[in-house]
Amino acid sequence: MIGVFDSGLGGLTILKHFLKELPQYSYIYLGDSARTPYGNRSQAVIYNYAKEAVDFLFSKGCRIVIFACNTASSQALRKIQQKYLPKKYPDKKVIGVIVPLVEESAKNDRIKRIGIIGTKATIASNIYAKKLSKLNPKLKIFEKSAPLLVPLIEEGWIKKRETKMILKKYLRELKTAQIDALILACTHYPILIKDIKRIMPKKCLIYDTGKIVAKSFKKYLEKHQELKINQSSSPICKFYTTYNISSFKIFGKKFLERKISKVKKIKL
C-alpha cells in the first residue's frame, strides 16, 4: 500500500499520474483540508501536521508515504526522514516532490532563467533555489510566493474572474523576468495550468509536476525492492479527508479527473 498525503486536494494532481504510470499498486490518499493552507503556518506546526499524517497512513498499512505537498516537503520532510522514522518506523520510507522537479529542471541545458511559484512557506525555505543552484550554478532563479491561490482553489474558485486576476498579478514579475521555465512549487497549482500557460509566454516551459514525480517514483520503487510493496491484479484506492466529504468528491473529481465514489472523514 502506498500513501499519498497533501494539505488538501492538490496532491490528487500527483495521485492522478501515479494511477496512470503505476496502476498495479494500491493507494491511500489523505487530504488535510480542514487545516489548509499549510503555507502560512510555522515550520513547527507543519512538522506536527506531517507527523500526524504519517502516523495515520502507516497505521493503515502503507509501506511508503509521499508528501504530495511542497510545503510539507520543504518544511518537514528532512526532519521526518532523519529523526522521526529511524526511531518509530525504521523499515518505512517518506519521500517528497521537490527533488524530481529540481533534477528535471537542472538537467535541461536550454533553461538559463527559471521561475518558481509556491506558498509562502515553500518560497521562504529557499529549498528550490538551493537545490537548483547546487546542480546548476549558472541558473538565474526568480521566486514568487502566491499565498491566496491554495485557499481559492480549495474553495472551488478555479474559474472565477477574481482568481484569474490574482494569478495574473502573481505571475507578472516572473513574466517580466523573461524566464525560460516555470516550476509550480505547489501541487494545487496544476489545476490552474491552462490559465498559467495563457498568461506566460509560449516559449516558457511549464512543467507537468505530476508526470515528472510519477516517473521518478517509478524508478524509486524499482530501486527499493526491500519495501516489499505488492502489486495487485485488483488494486484499490482509498480516500480520506479531514474536512467536508461532499466538497472533496466534487472538487476532487476535477483534480483527479475521475469520479471519487467513497471518502471517509477523519480527525488527525
Backbone angles phi, psi at 141, to 5 degrees: -115, 135
42 and 71 co-located in one domain: yes
17 and 84 co-located in one domain: yes
Predicted confidence at residue 230, as pLDDT, reads 86
Q: Given pLDDT bands bounded at 50, 70 and 90, which one contains residue 227?
A: confident
91 and 222 co-located in one domain: yes
Distance CA 156, CA 152 (A): 6
pLDDT digits (tens, 9 = 90+) for 177-208: 999 999 999 999 999 999 999 999 999 999 88
Residue 182: closest CA among 201, 166, 158, 210 = 201
Q: Supply the range of the domain harboring residue 237.
A: 2-96+211-265
Q: Given pLDDT bands bounded at 50, 70 and 90, which one contains residue 98?
A: very high
190 and 106 co-located in one domain: yes
CATH number of the domain that residue 47 is part of: 3.40.50.1860
User: For the chain, what is the mean pLDDT?
Assistant: 94
Predicted confidence at residue 121, as pLDDT, reads 92
Element at 118 (helix H, strand E): strand 113-118
140 and 73 co-located in one domain: no
Q: Can you tell me which residue has the cell 499524517? A: 53
* Average pLDDT for 138-154: 94
Q: Given pLDDT bands bounded at 50, 70 and 90, which one contains residue 103?
A: very high
163 and 245 co-located in one domain: no
Backbone angles phi, psi at 194, to 5 degrees: -65, -40
Boundary (domain end) residue, out of 192, 209, 226: 209
92 and 131 co-located in one domain: no
pLDDT of 8 over the 90 cut: yes
Based on the structure, what is the number of domains in the chain? Answer: 2
Catalytic residues: 69, 186
Predicted confidence at residue 68, as pLDDT, reads 96
74 and 115 co-located in one domain: no
Predicted confidence at residue 99, as pLDDT, reads 94
Asked if 93 contacts 85 with a C-beta cutoff of 8 angstroms, the reply is yes
